[in-house]
Chains A and B, each alone.
Chain A
């Protein structure tokens, strides 16, 4: 079965999308590659893609992220060239998550002690609010 995956690079990674594309062009694998601004889209047989993904990840184990994609690369149903421009629907999620990729990369590479982070303030539980109201009204 043909599958499609995104290979996305962290903005702090030394690997560029073009490096990944060149690596794939030079490999023995028979896959379709599309280079984009945030990484590459690869399409091919499932076992081929899975083997290729391992090799690509080895280029920068903490700076390269892989994600599944439903549509094949350049599919006219999603390609913005055919839809009159604008980002395709799934791009916004990638764009938003890309902003925190450098932090995730540094966290993956971190081998020291895990810092203690104070818990974020949460809204007052309903039960406690009810108690406060009853105390005030009694």
Chain B
């Protein structure tokens, strides 16, 4: 079972397909869960503390907006943990915690520079593309240990 990071990091389809094939999908909701359901919430309601952006300093410089560093404090450790990645380019509907374009650029860069196997795809627009989409993911995940 490999740990596979998916991009967009909140994708339902990608995380489901990864779990279906018997691997572990590394997704942002898991990181959010650890933060918001911790027993000792230090900064209610969302437990976002100054420590978050500081953690983000490992991935982005101090002059980078704190929003990028805050997001990276969640996504960065996931990237470090990953053993493979599936990247779907230009989804066009990234919102919420995935709605920052600069963070997304940095996430894709960090995944690629990490040196793990990466599968690049586009979201399908018809049935034929969907079959290729699923088949490529199956083949990629089947090749992982």
Q: Is B109 an interface residue (CB 8 A)?
A: no
Given A103-B126, A114-B135 in contact, is the A70-B12 Cβ separation under 8 Å?
A: no
Q: A4-B33, A77-B45 are in contact. Are A107 and B95 (CB under 8 A)?
A: no
Q: Which of B24-32, B50-58, B65-73, B110-118 lines the interface with chain A?
A: B24-32
Known: A70-B30, A70-B33, A96-B93. A106 touches B127 (CB 8 A): yes
Q: Which chain B positions have C-beta within 8 A of A49?
A: none
A107 — which chain B residues lie within 8 A by C-beta? 124, 127, 130-131, 133-135
Interface membership of chain A positions 95-121, coded 1 if the CB is closer than 8 angstroms to chain B and 0 otherwise: 011001101101110100011010010
Range of interface residues on B (Cβ < 8 Å): 35 or more
Determine the chain A residues whose CB is within 8 A of the CB of B96 once the complex forms.
89-90, 92-93
CA A93 – CA B91 in complex, angstroms?
10
Q: Chain A: how many interface residues by the 8 Å CB criterion?
A: 35
How far apart sit A97 and B8, CA to CA, in the bound complex (Å)? 11
**What chain B residues lie within 8 Å of A65 (beta carbons)?**
12-13, 16
Complex-state Cα separation, A115 to B135, whole angstroms: 10
Interface check A66, CB cutoff 8 A: yes
User: Which residues 28-53 in B have Cβ within 8 Å of A in the complex?
Assistant: 28-33, 35-37, 45-46
Is B93 a contact of A68 with CB atoms below 8 Å? no
B122 on interface, CB distance cutoff 8 Å: yes
Other-chain contact of B13, A69, A101, A115 (Cβ < 8 Å): A101
Binding site for A on B (CB under 8 A): 8, 10-13, 15-17, 19, 25, 27-33, 35-37, 45-46, 91, 93-98, 122-124, 126-135
